[in-house]
Copies of this chain bind each other. A is one copy, B any other.
Amino acid sequence: MSQQTRRIVLAARPSGAPKPTDFRLDIADLPALKDGEFMVEVIWLTLDPYMRGRMDDAKSYAQPVPIGGVMEGQGVGRVLASNTSKYNEGDYVLGGFGWQSHAVSDGTATRKLDPKDAPLSTAVGVMGMPGLTAFVGLNDHGRPQKGETLVVSAASGAVGSLVGQLGKIYGLRVVGVAGGAEKCRYVVDELGFDACIDHRAGDAKSLSAEIGQACPDGIDIYFENVGGKTLEAVIAHMNVASRIPVCGMIAWYSGAGEPEGAMVKKLWRTILVNRIAVRGFIIFDHYDRLPDFTKEVGGYLRDGKIKYRESIAQGLENAPDAFMKLLEGGNFGKQLVQIAPDPTRD
């Protein structure tokens, strides 16, 4: 008898914000294991804003998910059966298993996890792709210098929260931008940012005034996660020779919030006049930095210098809803879906 998998497939390409009918839960038989393959039960699935791009048919850095295809995503699984010497039954493995309960893998882009190193769920969070993104973006593209001012958008999110905490460790003034008073309190009180501004409290103009007040020496690094009115508000305060690592633009992913045309000129002019280095980056280009990241940030985590927060949806069937909320900023910390029990967790 073959193993079945419950899975979320792309039912339709969304126009703007995804809606429930763009997803479908179905059940399928997994293929029999070939030589070199193994099968996992997926425990943790991560949801990340970049997945919105995969739902579109547009040219991007990765192929779109086909209609009827399983939604893509990284997860942590436990090996139930193995035809490879690489993994044994019971091993915990990180891999691109997709939005489903079980998956067969040939081992491409997978890695064994030791639950004694760190909680399994952190392999898709602070110690995984979001963490590496924060580390590479801040260090390699932000090039921070002690005493400089760093502004981080989506400050309470998986990437932003680590960017800001690293910034504090490196001796920067760190100002977050987040959605809502509760997130802002967390960013300052728990994560130790110097200030955090609520982008929901006003328009781009008042946001810009608040950012200006929080950054009396201007901004040397703007870690860009959101685009939209936060970008518009920040740009007026960028210093000469400042840097903008462009990591994401969640405010624009679903087509909302059309900026004004004058914004292009303002942006381009500021880049010229202030000699700004803007650098788009995708973490797939930077896996060579994984050892440095793991050593440095793993150390901070063990020493309690880095905090992280998880927002956990229970059950695969709740993944679409959790993802739609994530795109609207409804999560609070790294968004995960728990699909099966985690035996290593209390």
Q: Among B248, B249, B265, B272, which residue has its beta carbon within 8 angstroms of that of A265?
A: B249
| Chain B residues with CB below 8 A from A109, complex form | none
A246 to B244: give the CA distance in the assembly, Å.
15
* Between-chain CB contacts (< 8 Å), 23 pairs: A61-B273, A61-B274, A61-B275, A227-B264, A227-B268, A246-B268, A246-B271, A249-B265, A249-B268, A249-B269, A249-B272, A252-B268, A252-B269, A258-B262, A261-B264, A267-B267, A272-B280, A272-B282, A273-B280, A273-B282, A275-B285, A276-B278, A278-B278
The interface residues of chain B lying within 8 Å CB-to-CB of A278 are 271, 276-279
Does any Cβ of B come within 8 Å of A260's Cβ? yes
- B residues in contact with A271, CB < 8 Å: 246, 278-280
- Is A60 engaged at the interface, CB distance under 8 Å to the other chain? yes
| Interface flag for A281 (CB, 8 Å) | yes
Which residue of chain B is the closest to A242 with respect to CB atoms? Answer: B280
Mask: chain A, 29-68; 1 = CB below 8 Å from B; 0 = not: 0000000000000000000000001000001110000000
Chain B contacts for A211, CB-based, 8 A: none
A247 CA / B278 CA spacing, docked (Å): 14
B275 with A277: CB separation less than 8 A: no
**How far does the alpha carbon of A288 sit from the alpha carbon of B278 in the complex, in Å?**
23
A180 at interface by CB-CB < 8 Å: no
A44 to B232, CA, bound (A): 42
What B residues does A281 contact at CB under 8 A? 272, 275
